[in-house]
Structure 1
Amino acid sequence: MVAKDKKDAKILKLLESIEDKPFGKNYEHMVSGMMYNPLDPILGQARHGARCLMRPFNEIDHRQNTSMERLFVEGPLLVDYGCNIIFGSRVFANFNLTILDISLVTIGDHVLIGPNVSIYTAVHETGMLSRSKGEQYGLLVIIEDDCWIGGGSIILAGVTIGSGTIVGAGSVVTQSLPSYSVVVGNPARTIKDV
């Protein structure tokens, strides 16, 4: 995996309609998979704003809302920005979902997410000089329709999980997965088809 060298017009177009996103060159580089400075003040303010919004969300008494027509998330939910996440319909996420959304994260329809699942879009280069500058880049994560992500799983940057796939509890997904498969382990490997 390497950082891209130009903006991703498709991702920028998709995110165009999102309100309250941080605007600027660093944001466009960030969501496009280019190297960017995460310490940019505009991005820092956006991360702070997301954390402020998460506090009241995580205090909601979910007993009042038992409908799963759109999205049901048991708190706490932790995000970097929040504005780079697109949820499908009838998504259920159990406790302690963490999404580091420096790039786009799309979660399809009818997806079940177990407790303590982490989705990471951030990537750091392995070179010490790049890391010491604080630069990083992001790669999108796509979870297609009808997936089940088992508790404690970790999904790394640049991964697509195909429709109908089951990720076993505690798995670490390091590469894209085919549709209609069952995967387990670290790194996650296909053990059978669904």
Structure 2
Amino acid sequence: MDQKERMLAELPYIASDEVLSRERLECKRRIYELNQVHPDQYNRIPGLLKELFGKSGEAVFVEPPFHCDYGYNIEVGDDFFANYNCTVLDVAKVTIGKNVMLGPNVSFYTAGHPLHQESRNSGYEYGISITVGDNVWIGGSVVIIAGVSIGNNVVIGGGSVVTRDIPDGVVAAGNPCRVIREITEEDRKYYFKKRVFDVEI
């Protein structure tokens, strides 16, 4: 089993491997092009994302700058939006559902290193996949750690560090992120705290 196969299998692997180094360089070239798109040509961004990501739905947009390791380990569904400075360390799969919005400075870290210093100094690292469901809003400056699964219909409060799985249909926030409460039918009529919509939705 080569180092890329080990990486994709979520086993310890050496990132300085020649094949992986070459793939990261190619990804950097694609990201450079994405991040240098002139604002008058932002209509090019969805096409560039389709070339970068492993799978991409319709109506997908990322506000530059954006950063990732490989690109091919990222899968997003329809109606995906990421605000400025999104970072995805995609040494393992990052799978994101449909109707997902990311605030600025959201980071997905599938990559990790052993705890013990001698194991860590060996040069071996690992990646464990991250999954985000449908209809999810992740607030600004949220960090999502390796191995986490976020359910459907979830809101993650800004500044959270998500270190464990989050179930469907809840608001969760904090460091470490924890469930605050369920999202209920009563929430439908409010756009912010107790401010009621003055438009039909």
Give the TM-score band, short-chain normalised.
Answer: 0.7 to 0.9
Q: Which amino acid is the alignment partner of residue 171 of structure 1?
A: S
Q: Which residue of 2 aligns with 1:116?
A: 105
- Say whether 1:42 aligns with 2:15: no
2:147 to 153, 158, 170: 158
Query: Does the alignment pair 1:76 with 2:57?
Result: no
Corresponding residue to 2:157 among 155, 168, 182: 168
Distance, in Å, in 2 between the alignment partners of 1:27 and 1:62 is 36
In structure 2, distance between residues paired with 1:74 and 1:103: 23
Do 1:96 and 1:115's aligned partners in 2 also have CA atoms closer than 8 Å? yes
Query: Equivalent of 2:6, from 26, 29, 40?
Result: 29
Cα deviation code 1:24-48 (max 9, x no counterpart): 7211111211010011111111111
Q: How many pairs align?
A: 171
Counterpart residue identity of residue 186, structure 1: N
The Cα of 1:127 is off from its aligned counterpart by 1.1
1:133 aligns with 2:122: yes
SS of structure 1 residue aligned to 2:179: strand
What letter is aligned with 1:107? I
Per the alignment, residue 181 of structure 1 pairs with: 170
Assess if the C-alpha contact under 8 Å between 2:61 and 2:82 holds in 1. Answer: yes
- Aligned match of 1:8: none
Q: 1:141-156 residue pairs with structure 2 within 5 A?
A: 141-156=130-145
Structure number with greater Rg is 2
Q: Distance in 1 between matches of 2:102 and 2:4?
A: 28
Q: Is the 8 A contact 2:58 2:77 kept in 1?
A: no
69-78 vs 167-176, greater mean Cα deviation: 69-78
Instruction: Please list every run of 5 or more consecutive structure 1 residues that lacks an aligned counterpart in the other structure.
Output: 1-23
2:18 partner letter = P
Amino acid at match of 1:43: L
Offset of residue 154 of structure 1: 0.1
After TM superposition, give the deviation of residue 61 of structure 1 in Å. 3.6
Aligned AA (1:158): G
Scaled by the length of structure 2, what TM-score is found?
Answer: 0.81
CA deviation map 1:42-66 (0-9, x unaligned): 1111111101110111122455539
60-69 or 80-89, larger mean C-alpha shift: 60-69
In 1, Cα distance between the equivalents of 2:139 and 2:15? 30
Distance in structure 2 (CA, Å) of the matches to 1:61 and 1:169 = 29
SS at 2:27's partner residue? helix
2:198 maps to none
Residue 69 of structure 1: how far off its partner (Å): 4.0
The match for 2:35 is 58
